[in-house]
Chain A
């Protein structure tokens, strides 16, 4: 199924729901949603989503695989936990949103240039280097992610923000030279690598 128009015979089949259960963190909760809409109404960003959580859950059950996994929606979640606090059915909605994002990324279905996705990657790469986030480099990478010209524009626009962060000691210009880190970043990287291997073997086993 390459196009978004799920053929009729596939509609409302539970194959995608089962796939989500097997592959998405807390995915087994999706079937328990009773479509009350409280999550969508509680989400401070819900208005801006193509498909707020309630809809995402219904789409999964309607077998709209490509539409869900290729969607921008779950990337919009800011982890405010409003929805979780309010869901009468106790669905861990925030976690499911993140789980769906991870799964779509793993399958390479994330929309190109999705800012949250890009930021997450930059954040991760930054963190992995020394085991601590280098704010200065993180900021610069974000500004310049779309090339030099855009970067200069972005940097100018965010100048004030940068200065304020420095004043408040939230960002240190010295970080440009090496920057702080954990005692032995190599060990951390090994730990992470191992964890990734375990995760990968789990994914393989599930297939």
Chain B
């Protein structure tokens, strides 16, 4: 391979680069220091001519490695999209001329910055290989949908409509899910004036008539093995038979379950049959069969009904749901209208504190409820007293009085809980506990209350999709809503967060499309988001591996299994190419073709460190390419100045940062290091979910390194930077320059 490598550099003098920098010096640096076999200039490299020049060199001169010194790697991506080469970009525009003032006294440092970036880019390129797919899996178009409710049925129909064969797995004996038994649903179309027909029966019919969809009723998943493009899923049926399916990608639409109202004794749920949940009221409305709704205790027609909003939800009381289920106010309006429709002159009161009617038609539907003479009363119920007639005690917040009302039926607007599998990390977290007895005890406790597994994944990191909060499946809710932490398995519908039917259907459609994309990507050996299209994948050098298992534990996506001896077993198509495993490996044996400990180390090494008497410090900035680097680009565009001593190296994720980069940089004389990653708490913004958090943990040990080198702890700082931190990101770099000025240059320069 090595013999076939041919390196070519291209320097753009457009966008003012040629005016501010000496291009012939840059060319010299590229060929002399950077060892590019050829180096060409263009006045507008991204123009048709410039691009053609590079294409021709690739085609005719068998150039395999391309170094482009022009704008940021985030600009002109389409123009510089060359397949089948290793490519790097030196950022002379956003990285240099836009962040430095155009004055004579700065010319020297500005040129030095540019020279360094060219040296660094060339050194990186030298350490890169042309990425190629592994060929580990083929295209497998089968989509598996878990859950036969509205969400699952929608996902199945959408995937089938796009031409993909679908296996729809449902635990119960019928499709329809929770909404299947509803009388009517919240309207989704203008004028949003009355409850709409339940769409489930029609959906079931369409599914049964669709020959691309195979429905598996009474079925659960006994085992899921493999990776996107080659999942092997074992179905178990109630009757004991089993069957193995070969699947490309999966959608988990396992839905929700109603909150257990037995936890609400204050509302007499356990004492009176006439106190029902919103979920149970649907059955009463269906049972009424077009006639008036009757109360369960004695079958008497309901003449007055009171809805208690936020029963057991939106509350910090023990046993209550801390969150709001989003849809329950709309549901109560809908159900109040049932009474107006079926029970003639029935007095219908909704006691609410905050009435929330999200969605396009929410407000209209609320008005429709008012128009139908539903009484909305801002009041907080404290108690329901059972009796022949129920008494609801409440505080009327408008009339400011403790009051009560009598009614035949009370409906509790309780919330939705997710139907998730057990949280894989609940047990893994126990590995921290040293005392084995205690660990076993805790383990038992967790297992006792854990729900049954839904996916039964044969993954090193557990059987199911990881949770975020309150048992809902973790999905990248800010940027990539359906994307879970298990590649090729998309969580959609209320298992992800509480939602209404329309939202669940939209969600299901999105998830189905993502599943199709995942199957197609796996077939081509390409990464899923956010490095979509990336052909490189991590490999490890077995001879060097110490079986420490850090990579298998830290991978945010559970991509790596372990073999019997404890060596990592990579699953390329589960991998998102974040590099967290690479950053975790203490012996540095994990690498990608185009990104490795070495490619970054080479950049760090090939920035010239001026001698101490030059009084030119060097600050290394390792900036996450997803948020921090674009923030710096935008700051440059806005003309925010960056200190001339800074050298910015983009990294895939803070999670990929190897401690050795920090140690080596300090050893070779850098005066300060700034690490920039994404927000890492529950409201994380890390594109790789846990990468930033893993890195922070790892970097907490950097203090020891500094101590052993006898360096000041302020020399290394780690920050959470958002893409919007346009002023702050450059400021953090400039702050480090101030710090260095204060504490003095590093003693490690030679």
CB nearest to B398 among chain A residues: A58
Contact of B377 with A31 in the complex, beta carbons under 8 Å = no
Contact B376 A35 (CB under 8 A): yes
Query: B405 in the interface, Cβ–Cβ < 8 Å?
Result: yes
The distance in angstroms between the C-alpha atoms of A8 and B355, with both chains bound, is 25
Contact B399 A13 (CB under 8 A): no
Are A58 and B399 interface neighbours, CB within 8 A? yes
Q: How far, in angstroms, from A134 to B406 measured CA to CA in the complex?
A: 54
Flag whether A75 is at the interface (Cβ < 8 A).
Answer: no
A12 to B403, CA, bound (A): 10
In Å, the complex CA distance between A57 and B399 comes to 10
Could you give, for residues 347-377 of chain B, a 1 whenever the CB lies within 8 Å of some chain A CB and a 0 otherwise? 1010000010000000000110011010111
Residue among A11, A12, A32, A54 with most chain B CB within 10 A: A12
CB distance from B507 to the nearest CB of A (A): 30
B406 touches A9 (CB 8 A): yes
Identify which of B304, B371, B396, B406 contacts A58 (C-beta below 8 A).
Answer: B396
When distances are taken between beta carbons in the complex, the residues of chain A under 8 Å from B218 are none
Contacts A8-B405, A11-B406, A35-B398 given; indicate if A61 touches B377 (C-beta within 8 A). yes
**C-alpha gap A54/B370 in the complex (Å):** 15
With contact pairs A32-B367, A32-B370 given, residues A12 and B398 touching in the complex (Cβ less than 8 Å): no
Which listed residue (B347, B367, B404) contacts A14, Cβ 8 A?
Answer: B347
Please state if A14 and B373 are interface contacts (CB–CB under 8 Å).
yes
Residue A155 CB within 8 A of the other chain: no
Q: Is the CB of B405 within 8 A of A54?
A: no
A residues less than 8 Å from B396 (CB atoms): 58, 62
Query: Measured between alpha carbons, how far is A59 from B399 in the docked complex, in Å?
Result: 7
Distance of A32 from chain B, by nearest CB (Å): 5
A32-B372 Cα distance, complex, nearest whole Å: 10
Complex interface residues of chain B between 386 and 418 (CB less than 8 A to chain A): 389, 391, 396, 398-399, 403-406
CB distance from B372 to the nearest CB of A (A): 9
Whether B371 pairs with A32 at a CB distance below 8 angstroms is yes
Q: Count of chain B residues with Cβ under 8 Å from any Cβ of A?
A: 23
Question: Known: A13-B304, A32-B367, A32-B371. Is A8-B398 also a contact (CB below 8 A)?
Answer: no
Is A55 an interface position by the 8 A CB rule? yes
Given contacts A31-B370, A62-B396, A8 and B378 within 8 Å (CB-CB): no
A11 touches B398 (CB 8 A): no
Closest chain A residue to B400, Cβ basis: A55
Which residue from B355, B371, B405 sits with its C-beta under 8 Å from A11? Answer: B405
Alpha-carbon gap, A55 to B378, bound state (A): 11
Do B376 and A62 touch (CB < 8 A)? no
Question: Which residues of A36-60 have CB atoms within 8 Å of chain B's CB atoms?
Answer: 54-55, 58-59
Say yes or no for A77: interface residue by CB 8 A criterion: no
**B399 and A12: CB pair below 8 A?**
no
Option from B355, B366, B375, B404 in Cβ contact (under 8 Å) with A61 = B375
Q: What A residues does B376 contact at CB under 8 A? A: 34-35
Contact of B377 among A13, A54, A55, A58 (CB under 8 A): A58
A93 at the interface (CB under 8 A from B): no
Judge whether A11 and B404 touch: CB under 8 Å: yes
A100 at the interface (CB under 8 A from B): no
Question: Is A101 in the interface zone, CB < 8 Å from B?
Answer: no
B405 touches A14 (CB 8 A): no
Q: Given A13-B304, A35-B398, A58-B399, do A8 and B391 touch, yes or no (CB 8 Å)?
A: yes
Task: Name the CB-closest residue of A to B389.
Answer: A9
Task: Identify which of B349, B355, B370 contacts A12 (C-beta below 8 A).
Answer: B349
Residues in B whose Cβ lies below 8 Å from that of A9 = 389, 406
- A residues less than 8 Å from B389 (CB atoms): 9
CA distance A14 to B375 in the complex (A): 8
A17 within 8 A of partner (CB): yes
Taking a contact as CB atoms under 8 Å apart, the answer to whether A12 and B375 are in contact is yes
The residues of A that contact B306 with a CB separation of less than 8 Å are 12
The CA-CA distance from A171 to B391 in the complex, in Å, is 61
- B375 CB contacts on chain A under 8 angstroms: 12, 14, 17, 31, 61
> Can you report 5 A-B residue pairs in the complex whose CB atoms are below 8 A from each other?
A8-B391, A11-B404, A14-B373, A14-B375, A31-B375
Binding site for A on B (CB under 8 A): 304, 306, 347, 349, 355, 366-367, 370-371, 373, 375-378, 389, 391, 396, 398-399, 403-406
Given A11-B403, A54-B398, A58-B399, 19 more A-B residue pairs with CB atoms under 8 Å apart are A9-B389, A9-B406, A11-B404, A12-B306, A12-B375, A12-B377, A13-B347, A14-B375, A31-B370, A31-B373, A31-B375, A32-B371, A34-B355, A35-B378, A35-B398, A55-B398, A58-B398, A62-B377, A62-B396
